[in-house]
Structure 1
Amino acid sequence: MSIPIICDCDPGHDDAIALILALSRKELDVKAVTTCAGNQTPDKTLNNALRILTMLGRSDIEVAGGATKPLACDLIIAPDVHGESGLDGPELPSPIFQASKLNAIELMAKTLQASEESITLVPTGPLTNIALLLSAYPHLHKKVKQIVLMGGAAGVGNWTPAAEFNIFVDPDAANIVFKSGIPIVMCGLDVTHQAQIMDEDIERIRAIPNPIAQCVAELLDFFMIYHRDPKWKFEGAPLHDPCTIAWLLKPELFETQDCFVGIETKGEYTQGMTVVDRYSLTDKQPNAKVLFGLNRQGFVDLIVESLMFYNK
């Protein structure tokens, strides 16, 4: 039985790879793809989702653009990481189909309403669209099985000393999501910084004889450039967003802990911080399953295995 999911993303190299992985697996049923501003501007992230689905021959999946800016902040993007297009590196096809006339929130609501079973939301960008959905359609909360998101950290941030990029871009949206009462799986920097792809892993991917694997290798070539900065002290490039898909496919690859997670929406130094009560220091009940450990080799093997699907 396939797990029905909606991918809400801001492609972005690692978002694109997460989509490619999700669409390679019979265990997952991608019902819709929605986009928001984040890694790049909203027009570019929407176009990038359409380009990826065009490359994969999946114009049957409805795609909708969503929030053009955070709920209460000015938009921040990450062109230094993802380039001018948001997916610099490989040559991707132009879209052969158009985005839905619905916006992202309307498409998610329509998809949830039409489904006989509950659906997992998989946001890999800022949580603006998800917060708007939950606020506008409270009666649909029961149709959401869980929210498996990439964002946050129990330790240090990667955009400010305290905050991870996705949460920092729209902390008010994250606050709504984490207070929603819907089960949350948080794939934060604690685990995604362990999900590093090394040079030899990229060559292993490049050796897979299909054009999708070649595209992924070229995405990783570009993504690696930013992460070679010595300040990060990385051996490779952390594949943040594919951790969400890997969790859905093989949760046994991860070490988890149920924790209370609070979102700092204001603060001179801490805006966007995810305050993770790892040691039960407060009386607040856990509201998220937080991922802390990863079998990195198993993660890489899963990516390679998934990309071999496209040999057919």
Structure 2
Amino acid sequence: MTGQKLILDCDPGHDDALAILLAAGDPRSDLLAITTVAGNQTIEKVTRNARAVCTIAGVTVPVARGAAGPLAREAIIAPDYHGDSGLDGPVLPAPEVPLDPRPAAQLIVETVMAHDPGTVTLVPTGPLTNIALALALEPRLAERVRRVSLMGGSYTRGNRTPAAEFNIMADPEAAAAVFAASWPVTMVGLDLTHQALADDAFRSRVRTLGTPLATFVEDLLGFFSAAYARRGFAAPAVHDLCAVAAVLEPEVMTYRDAFVAIELAGTWTTGMTVTDFDGLLDRPANTRVAVALDRDRLWDLTVAAIAQLGR
């Protein structure tokens, strides 16, 4: 049985690093490529970080640099959570994984179109700029992609503003294009990912592995925990990990169908994922929304993937 074919589009970022490890280390995953997008830090920094994580973990898939900013707005970054490098905490090696010469959108298109229809899942864990650019470059992606499993949005609250989550707020026009396309979308938003707090029990399981990769993860989580503690969290939310888990083991979450639209012009609500579970807008559901997490099962998947990489 072949694994789930994935393209991980990310902006590493501490939780993106964990998403890379799960996508690379789970035996049910067939990670085809990693693409980067400006978000948690600048495109130069997140691309270096992606290549450094791949170097540490022994991951050799193509890595391509993507958009340096959103489609129509000024770029925003998140050094308050991820530090000046975007991956503060561990010592990062010089990247040994080469950079693919293709722009991320081109790599996404060529990879999807080279595989059978309905076999490649896109997993964006940063702003959705690359995904929107790929869709504009090749509109047939919407019928070709198996599913888009994205970390972004929320149905109750934001974290960049009271209404908007960071990834959606960073490029709402791109998000609007992704949610409006005809492909199946799973939204793994803040309501779900704030259930995925990497507590001491999880970190102890990682440390027990005793590998250099486990030490790297512990160093990541040490910095990330301190950043979250300054905002009143007992442990950091490892958001992006959840979007990968939703593909590899969908039963790790429960879901509700909804119509989701992106607010583009609200005075206070730009970037909000307007989520209609009850048909109040008289629109058909276009999104599977993750609402509840089996956290112990998520930790089992993650620890097993780190152990499988064995470095």
Which residue identity lines up with residue 114 of structure 1 in the other structure?
A
1:28 is matched with: 29
Alignment of 1:188 onto 2:220: no
Q: Scaled by the length of structure 2, what TM-score is found?
A: 0.96
SS state at 2:174 partner: helix
1:99 is matched with: 99
2:72 is matched with: 72
Deviation string for 1:83-140 (max 9, x for gaps)? Answer: 1111111112111133111100111111112113531000000000000111111123
- Structure 1 vs Structure 2 CA RMSD: 1.2
Cα distance in 1 between the residues matched to 2:16 and 2:71: 21
1:308 is matched with: 307
SS state at 1:39 partner: coil
Equivalences for residues 48-67 of structure 1 within 5 A: 48-59=49-60, 61-67=61-67
Query: Number of matched residues?
Result: 309
Equivalences for residues 106-255 of structure 1 within 5 A: 106-117=106-117, 118-229=119-230, 231-232=231-232, 234-255=233-254
Cα distance in 2 between the residues matched to 1:236 and 1:97: 31
Cα distance in 2 between the residues matched to 1:296 and 1:96: 34
SS state at 1:283 partner: coil
Q: Scaled by the length of structure 1, what TM-score is found?
A: 0.96
Shift, 1:280, TM fit:
2.1
Cα distance in 2 between the residues matched to 1:97 and 1:261: 37
Cα distance in 1 between the residues matched to 2:148 and 2:173: 17
Shift, 1:39, TM fit:
0.2
Question: After TM superposition, where is structure 1 displaced by more than 6 Å over at least 4 residues in a row?
Answer: none
Deviation string for 1:236-285 (max 9, x for gaps)? Answer: 11110000111122221211001000100122210100000022222100
Cα distance in 2 between the residues matched to 1:9 and 1:121: 11
2:298 is matched with: 299
Which residue identity lines up with residue 295 of structure 1 in the other structure?
D
- For the 8 Å contact 1:24–1:310, the answer to whether it is kept is yes
More displaced, 214-223 or 200-209?
200-209
- For the 8 Å contact 1:210–1:310, the answer to whether it is kept is no
Shift, 1:227, TM fit:
0.9
- For the 8 Å contact 1:127–1:167, the answer to whether it is kept is yes
Cα distance in 2 between the residues matched to 1:149 and 1:73: 21
Alignment of 1:271 onto 2:270: yes
Cα distance in 2 between the residues matched to 1:244 and 1:286: 20
SS state at 1:245 partner: helix
Cα distance in 1 between the residues matched to 2:201 and 2:57: 25
Q: Percent same amino acid among aligned pairs?
A: 45
Shift, 1:18, TM fit:
0.3
Shift, 1:296, TM fit:
1.5
- For the 8 Å contact 1:209–1:311, the answer to whether it is kept is no
- For the 8 Å contact 2:150–2:243, the answer to whether it is kept is yes
Cα distance in 1 between the residues matched to 2:261 and 2:234: 31
